[in-house]
Each structure stands twice: as structure tokens, then as C-alpha cells.
Amino acid sequence: MTYRLGVDVGGTFTDLLMINNDGGHTYRTKVPSTPHDPSEAVVSGAQALCDEHGVSPGDIDLFMHGTTVATNAVLEGKGARVGLVVTEGYRQVLQIARSFVPGGLAAWIVWPKPKPMAALECTVEAPERMAADGSVVRPLDEARLRENLQALKSEGIEALTICLINSYLNDAHERQVAAICAEEFPDLPISVSADILPEMQEYERTLTTVTNSAVRPIVARYVGNLQSELTNWGMTGKLNLLRSDGGLMSAEKSAAAPVNLLMSGPAGGVAGALWVAQQAGIDNLLTLDMGGTSTDVALIEKSEARLRRETSVGDLTVRASSLDIRTVGAGGGSIAHVPELTRALRVGPESAGAVPGPVAYGRGGELPTVTDANVVLGYLPEALLGGTFKLDRDGAKAAVQTVADGLGIGLMEAAAGIIDIVNENMFGALRLVSVQQGYDPRDFALMGFGGAGPLHANAVGKLMQSWPVVIPPSPGVLCAYGDATTRMRVETARSFNKRFDDTTNAEMAALLEDMGAQVKADLAAEGVPKDEISVTYEVDIRYQGQAFEVPLAADKEMFDSGTGIEDMRAAFDTEHERLFTFNLGAPHEFVNVRATALGKPANVSAEEIETGNGDPIGAKMRDHTVWMDGQEKAAVIYDRSKLRSGDRVMGPAIIIEMDSTTLVLDGHSADIDRFGNILINPVEGE
Amino acid sequence: MAANIIETNPQPFNPCNVDPVTLDILENALKNARIEMDATLIRTAMSPGIREQGDAFPLIADHNGKMVVGQFGSFIDGFLRQYDGDIEDGDVIWLSDPYSCEGAISHNNDWLILLPIFRDGRLIAWAAMFGHQTDVGGKVPGSLPTDAGSIFQEGVRIPPVKIFRKGEYQSDLVELVINQVRMPEWCRSDLNALIASCRMAERRVHEMCERFGDDIYVAATDELLARNHRAMSQLINTTVAEEKLSFTDYLCDDGRGYGPYKIHCTMWREGNKVILDFDGTDPQSASSINFYLNENMFKMFFGIYMIMVFDPQIMFNDGFYDLVDVRIPQGSLLKPKFPAALSCRTHGLGRIFDILGGLLGQRQPEFLNAAGFSSSPHLMFSGFDRNDEWFQLFQIGFGGVPGRPFGDGPDGHSMWPGFTNVPNEFLERYFPMRIERYETVPDSGGAGLNRGGNGINMVYHFTETGTISIHDDRWFTYPWGVNGGEPGMRSRKILKRKDGSEEILGAKIDEIDVHEGDELHYITWGGGGWGDPLDRDPELVATEVKQGLVTTEGARAYGVVISASGDVDRGATEALRAEMRGARGELPVFNHGRPIEDLRASCEVETGLPAPIQPRW
């Protein structure tokens, strides 16, 4: 009997999910996170889970892990001190950046400029130059480079980055510089831009490579510790980490290219949603992962999560593929307020966080939050399941009353207003990943998870007209599901920049062949058997002169058989028309080419629950009253663990489980499927 | 003369109350729609000016033409007053003639799309977007002749025409215009992008109306305008005095050797109303630096500056317009008479912002910003490459953001919203040039407690023969410092020929031939400093010396002495600071460097260029 273990480290809890590779039975637990060293909770949680179910560490063949170590290092400014080597004349590449000041007219007056990721005093120049056709303009002056590098020796740098102009076309100078740096700084990890991002645009390439350097020591330390503690415990299985693009990579690879881990945490949720949806037979899905301070949303089409070519964390945006997850600063802890000057109702982005938290939690919070509004409206019943934890409804009412007074409306109207605004914010984020990308949300289901997602999903689904609204089992640990069920992945990208007329099917086929072989070899090196590897290709195409490329899947056989270029032209025109409603007569241009190697998907299926008779009465806990649609309404509270497959719950209803609460609105019904998913739909004729 | 709007449904919108939550939801939805307009434009436009640099401006207005979201203020009512014709469902207006819309757009390069949004036979909103075209024909590539004598030399001038007439695309019209320009494919694509962007807004407005109802939508836009009116009215009453305040700044030259040109503005309050009077501004120029300033646009600039300086939380729109009265003398640099040339108005447009800053901050120096990179210098480079293909680059440069109450001014950044630089690897891949240096100029930002941002030195190495044009300013007058801060350094352009010879180029020139191996050093100016430089932390100054942003010599402007090891020499620094404090008088609120006459006298020695000649009218 072998097992796979998925572990997701969150800010408050570390979630663990173990799946029996044979039959798919799952075991889960939650332990408090240990922020001083997150690996502590990971290992102790794994031990506890195994002990509880009599599983020996040697039976775990795959240990999969989503981590926010890299993310937090960036957000908290705790990245390593990075040295940077650039082409002569470009020392200030990060200082000047893209000259961009965010915000509207005159926003420069109040813009706080973030500090460069590599300090300017730690940036030195390499005397050399490549041209834009990859030829050498000036060879590297090694002696002067060594001289320049001496300035870094007193700066206490912990990692080194090399990014030279036009290296995406010819990396010879970068390699030369790297060799010299390795001699001068034998103990430092060195990141070379040609390895991390061989693409045009010097600022983005430099920033991405520097970011890789900045998180490298901390990730390497973390992964190293974790690996050795797991080995000491007796685990012999492989440790893999979840990449921002939803794939897995080996522990060794993550230590060298950690820039790919920046969205590891939220990617777990999307990967988990993807797996649950696949089991339930849903191909098109929007995800709504709502936590205490923020909400992540993403789009899955035909069982593929949409990717984007960049990763954003706080102010930082780097060119590393990530699932197209948009984040809004709206969560259960978001604070509602009424600014004096405009008398408008604002919710967030300020959050009460875990401490002091919402007023209803009774931990000293005094400002009204989204959670408090949910409590006031009766959506979060005062006594939660099985807990001694009781919500302070009177406190929540008093806090929301301040908003009501500010707006000159009633308490319930104010509470409902707070919920409407926060739902609207999430609606806005979901539109970014759907409508704005040319997708019709009515063709998608909506899955709500995370601590607060199930409370808001029905209302958001109504705004989006996305049905059914799906609440998966254990919505609070969905990330761990994702960690446990996704597959190994390696990706490489190259700038190509050729007009269709200037290339041939044969040239394209040869390029894809070469890149495919490269990613296949990389993935094999990470321990994936060759016969389990599949390779896919993607090309970015645009009308020559456009800034925006349309990424399209490409099939190597099409180029082999000589139709590839014409096929891509047709596919591009269709997609461009769908996105922007017009086509142009301008020449088509290939911009970037990517190859991705994927390991075999996990062969685990979800566990089925008992079948009931359609009547949820056995799960009923008690009657309840909620405020909905401008009036008080009778509702019923159910215990989720007692609901059976085929049961139908009519709204208004509240379904409670250990880590989450689901709200079913009036005029909607909730069906329980055989995997225990709650599927909410509007009732016909309402 | 006024537009005749044909509504087939005569029923007026029902006034109704909008609950505060719906109002906030609509406010957000409108803001998002505006962001989507930008996103659509950038993805589908082709000219680097729009796609990489973001030189385009969207808005959504209510059915009366008042801007509800956007940033350049509504110019729709100016157009409606002047347009002589019908406007009906399915029409889309296209124009580029500044004289046809009271300067809503201010040179022929800006193409404006106006899209009236009809629902069930009633006009319910407007969407509009304008964007700068790389070329619209005329006497020089780029269509911004520095010495033009009339607008007839500045390329194709499109009066308001219907590019869609009752939903029918007028391709003949488009072909007629496209045939006049040097970059037809870019113009065609950018025009498509402008329309696609307005269509996006149209779709969003319809969705909002479907969701909330037409009456609620209209009532909500009214209330959003009213909300802004209330907030601005309070702001104006508490921050603008009844006594008159004035401020003067200059444009250095007019491209024909004359200058500087004075822009003068006086501000005061009468009751609830602010008056901004440009009386005292110089008459119009015989050349192309005239800036046809639309009064409503200036109101918007004023409003945005007030909001940013005093309370950035307020959402700005046209709601407050009747609280501001803008007076611009006819025939002046800011309201020239047809057919005055207008193409090089960018310097005037930029300088207006320095004037606003100088006016608004006078009573509250703690809110005052220094003078900065209040223009957008351009480089044009065009020609036929060795494959005989035409290339044409229009590039906007950046410099030092001024020292601010908020902190240092960023080095080499943009003061224009949404603008970014073009990646140098992109330039090298698509144009025959190499960018040998791309760095800021140490000490170019004015010294201050908060340092002004440094200007940029960008060194273009040309790899083919071509022609360049340069548009820049602040080479003669200084970007001023405030509250004790020093002025920033001025701009300059040096052309180093392959044979080793060197020439200083004027700030506004056309038709300079360059050849393979020639190098242009395009040096922009720095932002002025803010506050007393002797109060700046010496350690910070030492770090900036190490970073190459300030030189050891430049550190002395802060009274900081750097030792040979690169550290602060504490004793020497204290002594120098004491000496400097003793030697100077009271610190002025504004430090313009030197009087104009002094600048004139030393101009040739300091800048390598002859002093501009005082214009006479």
C-alpha cells in the first residue's frame, strides 16, 4: 500500500491530505502553522497523520508541497542581498525600471517608489556587448570585469545575478561572466538570465533573474531542512514542490529556480479545484478562493487552468509562468468604512487580519468586517459546529451599526450593503479572468472554497450567472488536494520573432523538436520515467507591430506535415476576432515558442459517499432566521457530514462543516452529488 | 451651430433615488470599464507610442457629455457646441482638428473617437478615446515640425466626421486619411484599437443598464457627479484663498530661435468659485509651440491636482466644473488664432502642470512640489534601411520627477499616467540602432531634503543612415526647487560623429541627418529639490554617491564631505554645513536659479547654444 501526501502551508494552519494510491481514500488533518520555521508543522503534521492511521513513513512515495516561503520573502522584503552584473551602460536598469508611475494623472505626487530588488551599490558593469542579431559587438574584457567585481566583496551579498543585453539571442558572454563570478565568489549561488528567462526585454529579464536570486538562499535552506527532516523521519519518497503554473518540480530544481514558486500557494487551490471538478465531470470552471484578507480567482477551460506569462506578488511582477490567478483585497476580515468626504460605503482593502480579527470573534477587533456583516445577517450562525467557539453577534451588530449611521440607513441594510460590495469586488475580479479574456461566464461553473468562499459563492454565482455553484468537500483544505493530485512539469521558452513569411514549416518543426527534447531530458533528470512524459507546445503570435501576443497551442505534427504555419494563421485570426472583434491585413509574426513536458497525472479517484433518499431531514440541525432580499426569512441549518448523495436542500439554508459554512440563497437548491460536492442551482421558475 | 442629437424615444429619464450601495457598485463598474478600455487599446494598437508608451486617454461621460470616469476631462460639450449636424444611433465620430473642438485635443496627431451610446432610442452615455499617431503626414516624419508657420504644414487635419454612419463603416473616409500618412499600417491599427476600446465601454454601459435599469444608471451618474461637486466645493473653500496668487513659468524657445515665452496664471476665490486667469501670458508664437488649451481640460487638471495634493481619496470627474472659471486671453500662446501651428504643444502642456503645482502650493508650502519633468521630450528617427524598408521611430523620453513632500523624486521616471519606456532590446531588434548607455545623470536632480529625480542620459548609436528630430525644453530655464531645494540640471543634446567631431543640438530641431557610427547623447533634465539640502541625512548622501546617483563633488551641495574611502567625513561635513548656513540668507520658497537676463548672458558659454532672442509682437 502506498500513499501520496499533499501539504499546504497557510498563514494560520498547515493542511495535510494523504491519499491512498489504491482506491483514493483520503485522510486529512490540520495543525497550527509554525511561521518561524514552516517545515516544523509540515513534518510534525505528517507524523501525526501517519501515526493516527498506522501508515509508515516508508509507505509515502510522493510528498507534494505548496509553499509560500518565496512569496513571503518577497512580500516582507526579506529576500537575500543580491549582487547584479549588467552590460556596461546599464547599471541603473532596475533604478530606471520601465519609468512607469502607477495611477492616474498627478499620481506621482503620492507614489512611493519601491526599492530595486538588487541594490544599486551592489550592481556592477561587465564591459562587453552583444548586438540584436546575436553577433558580438565588443568581446568581454575579463580583466576589467574582475576589477569591477571587487566592489561587491564588501557589500555582503548572498546571491549573484547575471543579466546582459541581448543575451536572449546569444548567451556566450553571460556564461563567460558566470564562470568568472564563480571563481571570484565560489560560495554564492549564481543565477544567469539565459537560464531563467531567455526572452527579450532587458528590464523584465533582469528583474526576474534578480528575484530568483533574492529568494534562492531562503528557499534552498527551507527545502534542504525539510528534505533532511523527512529523511530522518524515515520517508524515502520523493519531495516535490508545487510551481506557480500548477505543475510540480523536484526539490533540487526548486532550489535553483525558485522564482517559479512565487504563486505556489494559490496554485494549489486551483489545482485542487481542477481535480475535484474533473471527478465531478465539470470541464469549465471559475474558482473563488476566499480567505481572511484576500480572494483569489481563476478560470479553468476544458480542464486546463489558464496560464499567464507573468507572476505578480505585491508590487513585483516577474516573467515566470503562473496560473492566471487574480487577487482582490477582499476577504472575511476586510473592514467596512464610510469616508467623511464622499459618504460612500467602502469595504477593504484594510483588513482586520487574524489579530484582532472581526468583532464577532471577540479577540479585541472593533471595526466592522465582512464576517461581522455575515454574522449580523444570520449567515454565520452564532454557535459553529462542534466547537465551544461562540460568535459575538451583539458586538458585530454594534460595529455594523456605525456603518449604518454613517450612511443613514438601517442596520440590516448596512450589513447587506457590505456583503453586496464585497461580492461585487469578487465579481470584478472574476470578470478580469473571464469576460475580459473573451469568455462567457454563463458557460462556466463556479467553485467556492477557502474559509469564506462557500458563504459568498452562491451570491457571486448569481452575479456571474455561472451555474452550478460547486462547494467541494473540505473546502478549507482544497489546496492540499491540489498539491496531492497534480503532475510534474517543466517548461522552456525562447524568443523567436519571425514573420510567417520569413520562416518555414521545416524550421519550426526543427525548433520544436529541439525544445521538446530539452524539456523531456530535464523532466527525466527529475526522475520521471521517459515513457510517462508527454510534451506540448505553445507559440505566441501577433500581427507584426502589436505589443500583445495571443498564445496558441501548437502541434509539432502540423509543422512536420507542412501545414503548421497556415493552421496557426487561421487559429490566430479566429482567436483575435474572438478577443477583439476584428482582424487586420498586417503580417503575422511568431514571437515566443514554449515547450512543456508533463509527467503522468495522479491516478487517484475521489471517494464516493453514501446514497440517501433525497430528503436531507436527517442532516437538519435546527431552524434559523436570516435576513435576505430585504426581509427576515426562515432558514434551516444542516450538518454537512450527514448529508447523503442525492439529497436536495432548498434555500434559504446554511450547511455547516468543520472548517467552512455554505450559504444557500432563497430561490436556489443545493444537490449533493456522489462525491459529496454541493451543487447549487437556481430553482426553475424563480 | 450645435449638434442635433436625434432620439427616437422622447421620454425623459425618470429621476430616482439610488441607494448608496448601488451607487458604489456602479462607480466601481465604471472605473473597471475604463481600465478595460486601456487594456483593449494597448493590446491591439501597433505604434510603440501607444502600445509601449501608453500615449492615449479614455473617458466615459454621461448623456450630457460630462466625464464620469477618465482623466483628461470632458471635451464632449466643446465638440457638441461646434458640430453642425445630426448625431444618431450607430454614429461614431472621428476627428483630429483642434480648432473643431475648442482644443479638446491639441494637435493633429491626436486622433479622437467619440461614440454616443444609445439605448432604446435615447442617448444614455458617451465613450471617447484619443491617441497620439506616430505620423499624420505633413512636412516632416512624425508630423511635428518644430518650425511650422501654420497648421497646414502639420499633416492631415480631420474635421469631425462619421467613421460609422448609422452603423455603416465609412471605409472611403478612412482610406482618404490613411493615404496621407507615412505609417499607414500603424495608423490603421491604432484607429481600430481606439474604436475597439470605445466599443468595450459601450458594451459595459449596456450591461450596467441591463442590470440596474436605465433610470438608475442615469441617476447614478448624476449622483457621482454631485458627489464630486460636494467634495471639491469643500476642498476649494478650505484651500484656495480670496487673495490673488500668481505664478509664472516659461517655455525656453519656439524652435525658430525666439524665447523664452511666458505663461502667467493668477488664482483667487470669489465665494464658492475659483478663478484661474491666464492674463499676462505671452501672445501666440509664429511657430508651433502654441498650446490650444481647452478650458474644461484645464479645470480637470486643476481638480486632479487639488485632489492629489490634498486628498487622493476623491474620485474625480466633471462634477465640479461650475466651481471653476478659467479665463484664457484670445490670441495668446494658450488660445492661438486659426491657423496657428500647434504640433509642438507638448512643452506647453507639460509646463501647465508646473504652474498648477506652483499656484496650489503657495499657501501651503508643505504640499508644494518642486518643478519637474513637466514635458515629454521626443526623438524621431526615420529613413530607409539597407533592405529599402521604411522605418520610423517616435519615442518619448523621461527624466527626473521633482522632490516632493512625500519623498525624493524618482530618477528617470514618467510624470504622465500610464507611460512606460520602450525596452532597449526592442528598439535594437526593430530599428537600426544600439543603445550604448541608458543611465541617469548624477547630480542632475536638484539638491534638497528630498532630492529631485535625476534626468536620463540615453546614448543612441545609429547603425544606418537616417534623419532625426528632437523635441525638448528646459535647456535654458531651470526646473525650479522649492522650500530651500535647489533647481535641477537643464537638458542638452550632443551629437558625436563617427569622425570624432561633436556638435550641440538645439532642443527643437528637425531634419538632422545621421549615419552609421554616429552617437546621439540625449540628456534630459532633472527634477527640482524639495526642502533644505543641509537637512538631508549625510549617510543617505554617501550611499547615493556609492550608487552613482550623486558625485562626491555633488555631495557638497548637501554640505556633505565624502572621504577618500567613500564614507561621510563627519567633522568636515559639520564644518561645511555651518559655513553654508552662515553664508546664505533666508531660504526662498521658489528657487528658479537665476533671472532670465543672467541666463541669456551666460547661455552660449554654459549650453553651447546661442541665447534665445526675446520675441516681439
Tens-digit pLDDT profile for residues B233-262:
988 988 899 999 999 999 999 999 999 999
Does the CB of A120 have a partner CB in chain B at under 8 Å?
yes
Contact B188 A109 (CB under 8 A): no
Question: What's the pLDDT score for residue B112?
Answer: 95
Q: Which of A162, A188, A219 is the last residue of a domain?
A: A219
State the complex-level ipTM: 0.91
**Least Cα separation, residue B216 to chain A (angstroms):** 17
CA distances, B48 to each of A543, B56, B134, B139, B184 (Å): 14, 12, 8, 21, 14
Q: Is residue B562 part of a domain?
A: no
Partner residue facing A100 (CB), from B51, B414, B425: B414
Question: What's the pLDDT score for residue A513?
Answer: 95
Q: Is residue B478 part of a domain?
A: yes
Q: Which of B226, B241, B268 is the last residue of a domain?
A: B226
CA distances, A226 to each of A27, A44, A233, A255 (Å): 21, 11, 11, 12
A576 CA to centre of own chain: 26
Partnered with residue A620 across adjacent β-strands are A638
Does the CB of B173 have a partner CB in chain A at under 8 Å?
no
Q: Is residue A369 part of a domain?
A: yes
Q: What's at A586, amino acid-wise?
A: A
Q: Which of residues 191-230 of B touch A (CB under 8 A)?
A: 192, 196, 199, 227, 230
Tens-digit pLDDT profile for residues A322-342:
999 988 888 888 999 987 766
Q: CA nearest A167 in B: which residue?
A: B425
Q: Is residue B69 part of a domain?
A: yes
Contact B412 A95 (CB under 8 A): yes
Q: Is the dihedral of CA B232, B233, B237, B243 positive or negative?
A: positive
The CATH number assigned to the domain holding A557 equals 3.30.1490
Tens-digit pLDDT profile for residues B267-325:
999 999 999 999 999 999 999 999 999 998 899 889 888 887 777 766 788 889 999 99
Q: What residues make up the domain containing A391?
A: 334-419
Contact predicate B595/B477, CB 8 Å: no
Tens-digit pLDDT profile for residues A145-159:
999 999 999 999 999
Q: Which of A419, A440, A465 is the last residue of a domain?
A: A419
Q: Is residue A10 part of a domain?
A: no
- Please name which of A50, A49, A31, A29 lies closest in space to residue A39, comparing C-alpha atoms: A31
pLDDT band at residue A389, thresholds of 50, 70 and 90? low
Contact A131 B434 (CB under 8 A): yes
* Mean pLDDT computed over B400-404: 95
Residue with cell 441549518: A637
Question: What's the pLDDT score for residue A685?
Answer: 64
B52 or A279: which carries more pLDDT confidence?
A279
Question: What's the pLDDT score for residue B271?
Answer: 92
Is the pLDDT assigned to residue B136 strictly greater than 90? Answer: yes
**Least Cα separation, residue B526 to chain A (angstroms):** 13
Q: CA nearest A543 in B: which residue?
A: B46
Number of structural domains chain B divides into: 2
Rounded mean pLDDT of chain B? 93
Q: What residues make up the domain containing B408?
A: 369-532+587-617
Contact predicate A336/A370, CB 8 Å: yes
Is the pLDDT assigned to residue A223 strictly greater than 60? Answer: yes
Q: Is the dihedral of CA B568, B574, B575, B581 positive or negative?
A: positive
Q: Is residue A93 located within the same domain as residue A207?
A: yes
Is the pLDDT assigned to residue A686 strictly greater than 60? Answer: no
Does the CB of B386 have a partner CB in chain A at under 8 Å?
no
Contact A89 B440 (CB under 8 A): no
Q: Is residue A382 located within the same domain as residue A500?
A: no
**pLDDT above 90 coverage of chain B, percent:** 78
Is the pLDDT assigned to residue A384 strictly greater than 70? Answer: no
Q: Is residue B551 part of a domain?
A: no
Does the CB of A587 have a partner CB in chain B at under 8 Å?
no
Chain A hits for B428, Cβ within 8 Å = 131-132, 166
**Least Cα separation, residue B438 to chain A (angstroms):** 6
Q: Which of B202, B226, B250 is the last residue of a domain?
A: B226
Question: What's the pLDDT score for residue B53?
Answer: 66
Tens-digit pLDDT profile for residues A62-101:
898 888 889 888 888 889 999 999 999 999 999 999 999 9
Question: What's the pLDDT score for residue A199?
Answer: 87
Residue with cell 508527454: A534
Question: What's the pLDDT score for residue B374?
Answer: 64
Q: Is residue A503 part of a domain?
A: yes
Q: CA nearest B51 in A: which residue?
A: A547
Number of structural domains chain A divides into: 3
Partner residue facing A104 (CB), from B32, B71, B309: B71
Question: What's the pLDDT score for residue A66?
Answer: 87
Q: Is residue B65 part of a domain?
A: yes
**pLDDT above 70 coverage of chain B, percent:** 98
B38 or B494: which carries more pLDDT confidence?
B494
Tens-digit pLDDT profile for residues B519-556:
999 999 999 999 999 999 999 999 999 999 999 999 99
Q: Which of residues 42-71 of A touch B (CB under 8 A)?
A: none
Q: Which of residues 2-21 of B touch A (CB under 8 A)?
A: 19-21
Chain B hits for A200, Cβ within 8 Å = 423, 425-426, 429
Chain B hits for A428, Cβ within 8 Å = 28-29, 32
Q: Is residue A403 part of a domain?
A: yes
Contact predicate A552/B48, CB 8 Å: no
Q: Is residue A543 part of a domain?
A: yes
Is the pLDDT assigned to residue A121 strictly greater than 90? Answer: yes
Question: What's the pLDDT score for residue A387?
Answer: 56
Q: State how far the Cα of A338 lies from the Cα of B174, in Å rounded to an integer.
A: 50
Q: Is residue B64 part of a domain?
A: yes
Question: What's the pLDDT score for residue A86?
Answer: 98
Q: Is residue B486 part of a domain?
A: yes
Does the CB of B417 have a partner CB in chain A at under 8 Å?
yes
Question: What's the pLDDT score for residue A27?
Answer: 86
Question: What's the pLDDT score for residue B125?
Answer: 97
pLDDT band at residue A11, thresholds of 50, 70 and 90? low
Contact A547 B42 (CB under 8 A): yes
pLDDT band at residue A673, thresholds of 50, 70 and 90? very high
Residue with cell 479545484: A273
Q: Which of A182, A199, A219 is the last residue of a domain?
A: A219
Q: State how far the Cα of B404 lies from the Cα of B317, in Å rounded to an integer.
A: 25
How many Cβ atoms sit within 10 Å of the Cβ of residue A76? 9
Does the CB of A92 have a partner CB in chain B at under 8 Å?
yes
Rounded mean pLDDT of chain A? 90
Q: Is residue A636 part of a domain?
A: no
Chain A hits for B178, Cβ within 8 Å = none
Contact B407 A112 (CB under 8 A): yes
Chain A hits for B349, Cβ within 8 Å = none
Chain A hits for B437, Cβ within 8 Å = 89-90
Q: What's at B171, amino acid-wise?
A: S
> What grid cell was written down for A586?
498586417
Question: What's the pLDDT score for residue A308?
Answer: 86
Does the CB of A107 have a partner CB in chain B at under 8 Å?
yes
Helix (H) or strand (E) holding B68: strand B67-70
CA distances, B278 to each of B250, B267, B268, B281, B592 (Å): 13, 9, 12, 6, 20
CA distances, B53 to each of A96, B306, B440, B527 (Å): 15, 26, 19, 21
Q: For B381, list phi and psi in degrees, rounded to 5.
A: -145, 125
pLDDT band at residue B24, thresholds of 50, 70 and 90? confident
Chain B hits for A462, Cβ within 8 Å = none
Q: Is residue A116 located within the same domain as residue A212?
A: yes
**Least Cα separation, residue A379 to chain B (angstroms):** 20
Q: Which of B198, B226, B254 is the last residue of a domain?
A: B226
Listed in order, strand segments (DSSP E) in B257-415 are: 261-270, 273-277, 324-327, 378-384, 390-396
pTM of the full structure? 0.89
The CATH number assigned to the domain holding A124 equals 3.40.1360
Q: Is residue A292 part of a domain?
A: no
Q: Which of residues 115-144 of B touch A (CB under 8 A)?
A: none
Longest CA span, chain A: 82
Does the CB of B154 have a partner CB in chain A at under 8 Å?
no
Contact predicate A463/A424, CB 8 Å: yes
Q: Is residue A107 part of a domain?
A: yes
**Least Cα separation, residue A247 to chain B (angstroms):** 28
Partner residue facing A120 (CB), from B186, B436, B547: B547
Contact B417 A107 (CB under 8 A): yes
* Mean pLDDT computed over B351-376: 84
B471 or A684: which carries more pLDDT confidence?
B471
Partnered with residue A553 across adjacent β-strands are A538
Contact A98 B421 (CB under 8 A): yes
Is the pLDDT assigned to residue B492 strictly greater than 60? Answer: yes
